[in-house]
Amino acid sequence: MSADWTGSTFGERLRAAMDAYGPLCAGIDPHRALVESWGLGYDVAGLTAFTEACVEAFGGHVGVVKPQSAFFEVFGSRGVAVLEEAVVALRERGTLVVLDAKRGDIGSTMAAYAEAYLGKDAVAPADALTTSPYLGFESLRPALDLAAERGRGMFVLGLTSNPEGRTVQHARLREVSVAEAMVLGATAENAGAREQGRLGSVGLVVGATVGSAVQELGLDLAGANAPLLAPGIGAQGGTAEDLRRVFGDALPNVLPSSSREVLSAGPDVAALRDRARRVSENLAAVLR
C-alpha cells in the first residue's frame, strides 16, 4: 500500500501542488461540535460520514489536506481505521496529506513513530508529519533521516500562537531563543535543497496569529527555505494582513491551514469543495 517516493522530495511535490491547486491546506478536524453541526452523531458512524464527505470534497481538488489525528484517536482503533482509509483515499486522488499528530520523543521511540507514519511498511503513510521538537531538535533525528530517505516531509513546531507557547518558545538559550533554535535546525536540514533551487522538505509550524513575534525574535523564515504551515486562518482569527505581517519575504513558502472556516460549509460535498476553492483563491491573491 505504501508508495515509493524516493524519486522526488516532499518539498518538490508540495511546490507543485501549491502551483496547481493554490496554497490552501484544508483541515479535517472532526471534533464533536462540528460533527454534530452537520447533523451527524458523534460516534464512529458519524466520524466516517464526516470524513468521507471531506475526502470526496477535497481529494483531487485541494493540493494539501491535514487530518488532525487526535479527533480520530478518540474513537480508538475504529477511529484510527477511518483515518487510515482517508489518508490512502486522498493520496490515491493525488492530494498530499500532512498528518497532524505532533509526535516527539527520543531514540527508539521516535524511530517507531517515524516508521508508523512515514516508513515503507506503514499502513497508511502520510506525505508529511507534524512533530514536536521540545526534547531538542536533534531528538527528531530518526524521523528526519527516515523522511529524507523516503521522500517525505516533516513540519516542526516552531512558533505557535497559543499563549502558553511563549513560556518555552520565547525563552533564550545563550544568544538565541528556543524558537530560533528550531528555525536554525530546519535551515540546516534544508540547505541542500536550497543549493539546488528547490523548496526544502523540513517545514516549520508558525501560527498566522503570532503578531510581531517573528520580528521580535529575529527569525529568518525566508532563509530557512522551509515550507511554513500556518494554522489560524479564518475562524481562529487569522487574516490576509496577518500573513503579510508575520511572514514577509517568506510568503511564497507559506501553506495556510484552514479547518473550521471551510468545514462549516458542510455537510454538502459541493458546498465544501466550493468553499475550499474560494478560500484558496483568496489566499493565493495574498501570497502572490
Per 3-state DSSP, what percentage of the chain is helix, strand, and coil (rounded to 5)? 50, 15, 35
Cα separation of the two ends of the chain: 37
Could you tell me if residue 171 is left (phi over 0), alpha (psi between -120 and 50 degrees) or otherwise beta? beta
Per-residue exposure over 232-245, b if at least 16 CB sit within 10 Å of its own CB, e if not: bbbebebeeebbee
Which residues touch 171 (CB under 8 Å, ≥6 apart)? 177, 178
Per-residue exposure over 252-266, b if at least 16 CB sit within 10 Å of its own CB, e if not: ebbbbbbbbbbbebb
Residue 7 · residue 265 · CB < 8 Å: no
- Active-site amino acid positions: 102
- To which residue does cell 511546490 refer? 15
Which helix (H) or strand (E) is 159 found in, with range? strand 153-159
* Torsion of the alpha carbons at 240, 243, 248 and 250, rounded to the nearest 10: -120
Sign of CA dihedral 142, 145, 149, 152: positive
Bond from prior residue into 267 cis (ω within 30 degrees of 0): yes
Using alpha carbons only, what angle is made at residue 124 by residues 123 and 126, rounded to the nearest 5 degrees? Answer: 140
Residue 204 · residue 229 · CB < 8 Å: yes
Which helix (H) or strand (E) is 233 found in, with range? none
